[in-house]
């Protein structure tokens, strides 16, 4: 069998605050296979972006990280800074959530792509310029050679996102971390960027972890889904099985809150309440205060993430009691 490209075991991230330690990521475990697209979903504040940044150790003290992130036979959380410099931007690249703040406003787009090419591919001068133009062309930016001299503010939102993708792909990485790459983009540009990522995944055979809160994006692009709530994974499954038969009450709530498709539309069913404060988690299952299936057993202790079917993991005591979704609601994942 093919070995995982990335193995994450018991990943924890703790952030000190004046009101106490915020345990932002709690015991996260997952594998990513070569060429696989894994969607990481959940409400805002569930720990998705914190998890993604911790994979390449972007958090700095006093933020604490424990566990193992195994890539290429080495734990990146224990690797030297010199090793991380080789991995970051080279073998593992990241697309940040907001390109306007992630791009340097005083450097041209060509200079920013050239930095990556110089650091990880050893390209300089005309060779670097030609490769940078190729990357912009690959991401669909018109007149790529001319646009290399432009600054980020001269690009539209969709073009800035494409420039971020070009920078991330300059080193031909084995793993791409994409933190909500289509946020705040119109649906046409969003579709173009998602198609671009899937095409590049096929061409480069790279693994992708896609952080998003948009389940429609997950249905369109991902092979497997990991659902986060309260700083931990509560369900992982293949896309089709998760959309049609969720095994955690939180996943069911997310899918029920989506607009239905087809002729028989129904009112949305939002999840009551809000996400928990990670500094003061309730006893037992963190979703219990918002769950319609809650029992005393749920409040007695936090359920572990267990395999409930081949390739399916859930941290819900009542996973067998949850209903399958009706076709009009499940069509989103078709």
Instruction: Tell me the per-residue pLDDT of 209-267, one tens digit each, with 9 for 90 and over.
Output: 999 988 888 998 999 999 999 999 999 999 999 999 999 999 999 998 887 655 466 67
Residue 184: the pLDDT is: 64
Residue 140: the pLDDT is: 83
Mention every residue, 6+ apart, whose C-beta is less than 8 A from residue 156.
none
C-beta separation of 208 from 158 below 8 A? no
Question: How many whole angstroms from its chain centre is CA 266?
Answer: 30
Separation of alpha carbons 43 and 324, rounded Å: 22
25-28: long-range pairs with CB below 8 Å, 24+: 25/50, 25/51, 25/54, 25/231, 25/232, 26/230, 26/231, 26/232, 27/67, 27/232, 28/67, 28/228, 28/232, 28/233
Q: Which pLDDT band, with edges at 50, 70 and 90, does 1 fall under?
A: low
Contact 276, 286 (CB under 8 A): yes
- Per the omega criterion (within 30 degrees of 0), is the bond before 62 cis? yes
**Residue with structure tokens 């979903």?**
41
For residue 247, the tally of other CB atoms under 10 A from its CB is 24
- List strand residue ranges (DSSP E) for the chain, in order: 6-17, 20-32, 37-41, 64-71, 74-75, 92-95, 175-179, 207-211, 224-229, 232-238, 306-309, 312-314
Q: pTM value? A: 0.91
Partnered with residue 71 across adjacent β-strands are 6, 74
Using the CB atoms, write b or e for 267-283: b if 16+ within 10 Å: eeeebeeebbebeebee
> What pLDDT is stored for residue 261 in this prediction?
54
Task: Return the axis-axis angle of helices 109-116 and 157-169, rounded to nearest 10°.
Answer: 20
Instruction: Write out the E strands in 230-290.
Output: 232-238
CA 324 to mean position of chain CA atoms: 26
Bridging pattern class, strands 224-229 and 232-238: antiparallel
Q: How many CA atoms lie within 13 A of 323 on its CB side?
A: 10
Average pLDDT over residues 188-208: 85
Confidence of residue 329 (pLDDT cuts 50, 70, 90): very low
pLDDT tens digits, one per residue of 79-92: 999 999 889 989 99
The better pLDDT of the pair 249, 2 is held by 249
pLDDT in tens, 123-161: 999 999 999 999 999 888 999 999 999 999 999 888 898
pLDDT of residue 187: 81
13-71 pLDDT tens trace: 999 999 889 999 999 999 999 999 999 999 998 999 999 999 999 999 999 999 999 99
> What is the DSSP code (8-state) at residue 88?
B
pLDDT for the residue 333: 44
Task: Find the mean pLDDT for residues 271-281.
Answer: 90
Give the pLDDT band of residue 312 (cuts 50, 70, 90).
Answer: very high
Number of Cα atoms under 13 Å in the Cβ half of residue 170: 34
SS3 call for 62: coil
Q: Measured between alpha carbons, how far apart are the two ends of the chain, in Å?
A: 28
Taking a C-beta distance cutoff of 8 angstroms, is the pair 239, 223 a contact?
yes
């Amino acid at each position: 069998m093919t070995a995982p490209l990335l193995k994450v075991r018991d990943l924890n991230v703790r952030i000190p605050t004046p009101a106490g330690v915020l345990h932002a990521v709690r015991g996260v475990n997952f594998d990513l296979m070569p060429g696989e697209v894994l969607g990481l979903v959940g409400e805002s504040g569930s720990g998705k972006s914190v998890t993604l940044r911790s994979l390449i150790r972007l958090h700095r003290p006093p933020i604490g990280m424990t566990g193992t992130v195994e890539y290429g036979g080495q734990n990146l959380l224990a690797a030297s800074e010199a090793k991380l410099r080789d991995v970051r931007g080279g073998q593992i690249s990241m697309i940040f959530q907001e390109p306007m703040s992630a791009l340097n406003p005083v450097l041209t787009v060509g200079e920013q792509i050239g930095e990556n090419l110089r650091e990880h591919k050893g390209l300089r001068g005309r060779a670097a310029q030609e490769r940078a133009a190729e990357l912009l062309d690959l991401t669909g930016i018109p007149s790529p050679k001319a646009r290399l001299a432009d600054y980020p503010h001269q690009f539209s939102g969709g073009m800035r996102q494409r420039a971020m993708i070009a920078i991330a792909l300059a080193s031909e990485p084995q793993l791409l971390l994409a933190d909500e790459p289509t946020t705040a983009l119109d649906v046409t540009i969003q579709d173009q960027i998602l198609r671009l990522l899937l095409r590049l995944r096929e061409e480069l055979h790279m693994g992708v972890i896609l952080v998003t809160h948009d389940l429609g994006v997950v249905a369109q692009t991902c092979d497997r889904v990991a659902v986060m709530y309260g700083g931990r994974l509560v369900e992982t499954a293949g896309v089709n099985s998760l959309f049609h038969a969720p095994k955690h009450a939180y996943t069911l709530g997310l899918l029920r809150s989506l607009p239905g498709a087809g002729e028989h539309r129904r009112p949305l069913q939002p999840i009551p309440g809000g996400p928990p404060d990670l500094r003061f988690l309730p006893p037992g299952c963190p979703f219990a205060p918002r769950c319609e299936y809650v029992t005393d057993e749920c409040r007695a202790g936090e359920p572990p993430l267990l395999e409930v079917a081949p390739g399916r993991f859930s941290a819900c005591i009542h996973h067998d009691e949850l209903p399958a979704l009706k076709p009009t609601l499940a069509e989103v994942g078709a």
